């Protein structure tokens, strides 16, 4: 594991669907994964199976999505050996005081002995007896201390965080109990929420950034962005493919969600072409801003986004 105080690095190799990111632990994570948030029952099993049979080797899920069991079934149905698949899941907020139980529940539902990456879903330690309240005697630093204990049990190959702004990451890294630097920070990243400062900060700490809602999520306003549509048309690619390529070329992994076999396939057509520096710049310079995942739904007083991560 990547110990605090070491000079840590994460780097990219390969292009398109062959992109692989070496994490600060030395493990290699495929750059393109299938997202599964909001994938409905009876859809996600088939989606996971189809994606794996079409070449995807990275699946992103979470206890909070309520679909780990179907994701596990999809993996089995695909016939792709477990050791060829990168599987990420996440610890849900009301489980922060129950990390061993959280991972046990995920492993049972996913029908696997280990996950490749276990993320703290949000820096919010929510009281399971009253979801509107946070614990008063526990915070994300305590949760991370407990997550660190999973390393070496064989149940998790890497641990990381999600939805961490620089402020909370600094707090986490400064804590005496923090000995392991997160391998990944999974955050919202798309051309209308590019967060260049946070990306740079993650990189400076040797933390890989995964882009969630990398297409702008459900009913994405980006699908109507004129600049993006023109660029895609000129390129002979879909706007979604252009956004995914933009993400990969910014050295972030991308985890587009789809339950449509056609779109799952199209989102994986990323080989043999790239965006030029100028095209990258164009997509990085879109003026509109929106955020898919805010923090208003978390218990009062929980500060997750500090407004400087756009
Ligand atoms: N850590 C976190 O807190 C967090 C938060 C949000 C998301 N995530 C992860 O990131 C993943 C991706 O984010 P997301 O689900 O918010 O959204 P997304 O991947 O940005 O967008 C998904 C939406 O785009 C549609 N879509 C996908 N490919 C398309 C294509 N080629 N053409 C047209 N429409 C297309 C999907 O519909 P169809 O399914 O109908 O194709 C769906 O409505 C999630 O699924 C989840 O795994 C993590």
Say if 18 falls within a structural domain.
no
Residue 162 within a domain:
yes
Q: What is the CATH number of the domain that holds 89?
A: 3.20.20.100
Residue 289 lies in a domain: no
Give the Å distance between the CA of 51 and the centre of ligand 1. 14
Nearest CA to ligand 1 atom 11: 35
What pLDDT is stored for residue 248 in this prediction? 98
Q: Is residue 274 part of a domain?
A: yes
Whole-number pLDDT of residue 259: 97
Is 17 within the bounds of a domain?
A: no
Per-residue pLDDT, 181 = 97
Kindly state whether residue 310 falls inside one of the protein's structural domains.
no
Number of domains within the chain: 1
* CA separation for the pair 141, 231 (Å, rounded): 43
User: Which residue, judged by its Cα, is nearest atom 47 of ligand 1?
Assistant: 35
| Residue 121 is labelled as binding a ligand | yes
Predicted TM-score (pTM) of the model is 0.98
Q: What is the pLDDT of residues 90-129, one digit of tens each?
A: 999 999 999 999 999 999 999 999 999 999 999 999 999 9
Parent domain of 252: 24-284
pLDDT of residue 15: 97
Q: Ligand 1 pocket test: which of 208, 256, 267, 304 has the largest number of ligand atoms within 8 Å of its C-beta?
A: 256
Sheet containing 11-13: order of strands: 11-13, 20-22, 28-30
**Rg, C-alpha atoms of the chain:** 18
Q: Which of 38, 245, 257, 304 to mutate to test the pocket of ligand 1 (most atoms within 8 A of CB)?
A: 257
HSE toward the beta carbon, residue 64, CA cutoff 13 A: 14
- Which atom of ligand 1 is found nearest the CA of 257? 19
Q: Whose CA is nearest to atom 41 of ligand 1?
A: 258
CA 6 – ligand 1 centroid, Å: 35
Q: How confident is the model at residue 301 (pLDDT cuts 50, 70, 90)?
A: confident
pLDDT digits (tens, 9 = 90+) for 136-185: 999 999 999 999 999 999 999 999 999 999 999 999 999 999 999 999 99
- Per-residue DSSP letters for the chain? --BTTS----EEES-GGG-EEE-TTS-EEESB-EE-TTPPTTTHHHHHHHHHHTT--EEE--GGGT-HHHHHHHHHHH---GGG-EEEEEE-GGGTT-HHHHHHHHHHHHT-S-BSEEEE--S--B-TT-TT-B-SS--HHHHHHHHHTTTTTTSBS-EEEES--HHHHHHHHHSTT--B--SEEEEE-BTTB--HHHHHHHHHTT-EEEEESTT-STT-GGGG-HHHHHHHHHHTS-HHHHHHHHHHHTT-EE--B---HHHHHHTT--SS----HHHHHHHHT------SS-STTSPTT-----S---
Residue 58 lies in a domain: yes
Which residues have CB under 8 Å from 99's CB, separation 6+?
Answer: 91, 143, 146, 147, 149, 150
CB atoms < 10 A from the CB of 273, how many?
14
Q: Which atom of ligand 1 is nearest to the CA of 256?
A: 19
Question: Which atom of ligand 1 is closest in space to residue 119's alpha carbon?
Answer: 1
- Distance from residue 150's CA to the centre of ligand 1 (Å): 29
Question: pLDDT tens digits for 233-244?
Answer: 999 999 999 999
Which one, of 44, 4, 2, lies nearest residue 24 by Cα?
2
Q: Is residue 124 one of the residues assigned to a domain?
A: yes
What's the confidence (pLDDT) of residue 2?
Answer: 81
pLDDT at position 159: 98
Ligand 1 pocket: which residues have CB below 6 Å? 35-38, 60, 121, 162-163, 186, 212-218, 220, 238, 240, 255-260, 263, 266-267, 292-293
Which protein residue's CA is at the shortest distance from atom 21 of ligand 1? 217
Q: Which positions are catalytic? A: 65
- Atom 22, ligand 1: residue with shortest CA distance: 217
d(CA 251, CA 185): 13
């Amino acid at each position: 594991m990547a110990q605090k105080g070491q000079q840590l690095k994460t780097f990219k190799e390969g292009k398109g669907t062959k992109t692989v990111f070496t994490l600060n632990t030395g493990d290699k994570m495929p750059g393109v994964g299938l997202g599964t948030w909001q994938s409905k029952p009876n859809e996600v099993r088939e989606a996971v199976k189809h994606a794996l049979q079409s070449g995807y080797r990275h699946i992103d899920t979470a206890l909070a999505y309520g679909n780990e069991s179907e994701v596990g079934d999809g993996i089995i149905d695909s016939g792709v050996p477990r050791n060829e698949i990168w599987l990420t899941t996440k610890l849900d907020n009301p489980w922060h005081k129950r990390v061993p139980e959280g991972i046990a529940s995920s492993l049972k539902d996913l029908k696997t002995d280990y996950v490749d990456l276990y993320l703290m879903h949000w820096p919010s330690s929510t009281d399971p007896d009253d979801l509107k309240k946070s614990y008063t005697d526990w915070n994300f630093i305590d949760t991370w201390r407990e997550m660190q204990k999973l390393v070496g049990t064989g149940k998790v190959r890497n641990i990381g965080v999600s939805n961490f702004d620089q402020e909370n990451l600094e707090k986490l890294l400064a804590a005496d109990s923090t000995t392991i630097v997160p391998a990944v920070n999974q955050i919202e990243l798309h051309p209308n929420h590019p967060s260049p400062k946070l990306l740079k900060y993650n990189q400076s700490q040797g933390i890989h950034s995964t882009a969630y809602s990398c297409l702008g999520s459900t009913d994405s306003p980006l699908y109507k962005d004129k600049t993006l549509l023109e660029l895609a048309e000129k390129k002979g690619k879909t706007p979604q493919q252009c956004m995914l390529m933009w993400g990969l070329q910014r050295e972030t992994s991308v985890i587009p969600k789809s339950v449509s076999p056609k779109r799952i396939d199209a989102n994986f057509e990323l080989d043999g072409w790239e965006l030029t520096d100028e095209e990258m710049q164009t997509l990085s310079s879109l003026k509109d801003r929106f955020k898919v995942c805010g923090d208003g739904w978390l218990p009062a007083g929980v500060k997750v986004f500090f407004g400087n991560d756009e």
